Amino acid sequence: MNKFIKWGLLVLALGLLGAGWWLGLAWAPPDREMGDVQRIMYVHVPLQWMAMLAMFINFVAAVAYLFKASWKLDSAAEASAEIGLVLGTAGMITGAIWGRPTWGVYWSWDPRLTSEAIMLVTYTGYLVLRRFVEDPEKRATWSAVVAIIGAINLPIVWFSVRWWRSLHQVQSSPRTVDPEMVLPLRVSAFGMLFITLFFMAVRYRQALAERQAEVALPDALPGDVPMSASHNPSKVA
Amino acid sequence: MSTTPPRPRAIGLVAATLALLRKDLLIEWRTRARLNAIIFFALATLLMFSFALGPDTKLLEKNAGGYFWLAILFASVLALGESFRVESENACMDGVRLAPADARAIFLSKALGNTLLLTALGALLVPVMVALYGVRIVTSFMDLGLILLLGCLALSAPGTVYAAISSNARARDVLLPLLLFPLVIPALLSAAKATTLVLQGDPMNQFNSWLGLLGGFNLIYWGVGFVLFPRIIED
Amino acid sequence: MPPLPAPALALHDVSKRYGRRWALARLTYALPAGRSLLLTGHNGSGKTTLLRLVATALSPTAGRVEVLGRDAMADRESVRRDVALLSHASFLYEDLTAHQNLTVLARLLGIPSPQDAASALLTRVGLTQRSDSPVRSFSAGMRKRLAIARLLLKAPAIALLDEPFGELDPQGIRDMERIIGELKSSGVTVVLATHLIEQGLTLCEERLHLQDGRAVAA
């Protein structure tokens, strides 16, 4: 990616995040019931949305890899899973911080929290698997399979946990959001989107460079195997 | 020497699955000491739950369904790992692949073999659970059998896919549970709930919906495994 | 004029990489139909990789492998029916008996009476006495005999033999030579990788010497 675009993205992201959070902290009205505590929403909600986006990108990259293998798709899958895991963890921590004064507890076994915890464990497993397989082709194929199976599982987890809990406690009703809260939320969400894209771009380039170093022809042999001779047999067959 | 016999026709998916399943069961039978160890491991797990909880028998009775399925889940990790360890010794999996056997038949045979093994294990655990936890079967044995079969099917299909992956990776003993546990939570949840309903009565008729969830889980993962498994074992 | 028969096996610019190491580098070679090939080279020169590529146990990183005129990647199933590999790993289940190991394979191959086929082969390789002992109790030489029985059971058109004389006693080597001779006289293409160049040269008409994954003059 062009250097200019990359750093522009970062500046834009920081600007939007700064503006969004200033609006959220200083301009938007406090929540009627929760008071100032609710302002953590402008951090928490964008984090959660972007974690979802990153996991979705991971799923798409994994499916695409199985159809047409390429190091780019594998690198995109790795980058998005890592970033998604970081965002999701940050989202969960901010959620717990929010939960403590609101519900009186850091953690509750409500469907959303439970599903998210399971999602984080799923992608931790995915990244651990990637560390434990040396062969780049096998790592890419196997982790794509694991990513797909894990992603398919998330909606099932969501429904089953909701069902499981609903037998005991009533779902909390969806919150209505004041229009004056929408603007800061929207601005921070776009800021978070751009910073996610920035990190993703950086991490993607790192991953791609790692892959290329892994599959590069060592100097010891005469370099007459073309680098472009693809890693993927189905492409060259 | 006599000339080579006429070339037999290639066998179909079902025949290959049965041939491989027969082989797996034969190996299980011939190494039944290993099988026994897994059974005793599951029994010990059931026992340990009662120690972990202390002398509160009410609690044991209430959670019996969950403990029962956790014992099966832990045993399944061992059984799945074993069933692929046998194949990696002497590169037997290569031998089967090159025979040639359809990779999907390998998936079906391994998943079915593990289902049979776990179901049998579960059937052995039921009387022990009844005795240790002081529960009784309120609705019917049929319901319990059905939930046992569906639950073991649900553990085996994704378990086979992940065991095939982790048996070839470093740190395979850690990797399999790490991948498998979050995945089978919906199956575990519905199986445990349904078992609890069998043990404590089902006044609100929820049993069938849990059964349905388990059935859906099975359909999805047997399908996904059938499609994706060949990608794992063919380089 | 009838068309020329397809070469028994043909490698077109084949490369295979393991991690960062190239085991085969741009190898091109064709083995004419009806001839047998001796593969020589030091340890790590790519002999085993070449055999495993032809057996379709591996797929090439680049290039194309053809077996009996068929693409080893695209027609994998049909190629697998026609080739059999005797490898370093024996493909034997340690917990099953010799007879059971062969019966399992015979069932997979769809051979009509698997038990009888297994017994017949055990006689042929001289393992009748131990047919009901588990492989776990076998010596290295006996495993090799059982592994060759497994190969013969497949009745392949191409037999790929990776160090078939390894771990055999002098009698075992003679038996193996006899079996390879029988394979050849029944029209099987033999590809033989071995350090025993003398035995190899008497058995094979063609020779390919590998060094660092490339073909060089022997």
8 Å CB contact of B232 and A129 = no
- Residue-wise pLDDT tens for chain C (218 aa)? 566 678 889 999 898 888 778 889 889 999 998 899 999 998 888 999 999 999 999 989 889 999 999 999 888 989 999 999 999 999 999 999 999 999 999 999 999 999 999 999 999 998 999 999 999 999 999 999 999 999 999 999 999 999 999 888 899 899 999 999 999 999 999 999 988 888 888 889 889 999 888 888 76
Long-range pairs, A106-115, Cβ under 8 A, ≥24: A109/A165, A110/A165, A110/A172, A111/A158, A111/A161, A111/A162, A111/A165, A111/A171, A114/A157, A114/A161, A114/A165, A115/A154, A115/A157, A115/A158, A115/A161
8 Å CB contact of A224 and C25 = yes
A110 occurs within a structural domain = yes
Closest of C67, C50, C31, C213 to residue A225, by C-alpha: C213
Specify the pTM.
Answer: 0.90
Residues forming beta bridges with residue C85, ordered by sequence position? C160
Other CB atoms within 10 A of residue C8 CB: 27
8 Å CB contact of B94 and C57 = yes
SS3 assignment, position A33: coil
Vertex B16 angle, CA B13 and B20, to 5°: 140
Determine which of A77-91, A132-146, A158-172, B122-136 has the lowest per-residue pLDDT on average: A158-172
Residues forming beta bridges with residue A12, ordered by sequence position? none
At A107, list the tokens.
């953690």
Query: Angle between the A71-103 and A136-166 helix axes, to the nearest 10 degrees?
Result: 30
8 Å CB contact of B94 and C108 = no
CA distance B104 to chain A (A): 15
A chain contacts of residue B224, beta-carbon cutoff 8 Å: 148-149, 152
A91 occurs within a structural domain = yes
8 Å CB contact of B186 and A153 = yes
Segment B168-176 mean pLDDT: 87
C chain contacts of residue B15, beta-carbon cutoff 8 Å: 110
If you average pLDDT over every residue of chain C, what do you get? 90
Q: Which domain holds residue A19?
A: 3-171+179-213
Q: Give the residue from chain B lying closest to C178, CA to CA.
A: B1
Facing residue for C56 by CB, picked from B22, B89, B98: B98
SS3 assignment, position B164: helix
SS3 assignment, position C24: strand
ipTM of the complex, rounded to two decimals = 0.90
CA distance B228 to chain A (A): 7
DSSP 8-state secondary structure symbol assigned to residue A24:
I
Q: On the CB side of B42, how many CA atoms lie within 13 Å of its CA?
A: 29
The whole-number pLDDT of residue C22 equals 84
Closest of C55, A46, C179, A181 to residue B99, by C-alpha: C55
Query: Domains in chain C, ordered, with CATH?
Result: 9-216 (3.40.50.300)
A39 occurs within a structural domain = yes
Other CB atoms within 10 A of residue B39 CB: 16
C59 touches chain A (CB under 8 A): yes
The whole-number pLDDT of residue A174 equals 43
At A157, list the tokens.
């987890």
**Contacts of A190 by beta carbon, 8 Å cutoff, 6+ apart:** A16, A20
Domain boundaries of chain B, sorted by first residue: 18-233
Buried/exposed code over C140-150 (b: 16+ C-beta within 10 A; e: otherwise): ebbbbbbbbbb
Please state the domain count of chain A. Answer: 1
Residues forming beta bridges with residue C70, ordered by sequence position? C67
A61 occurs within a structural domain = yes
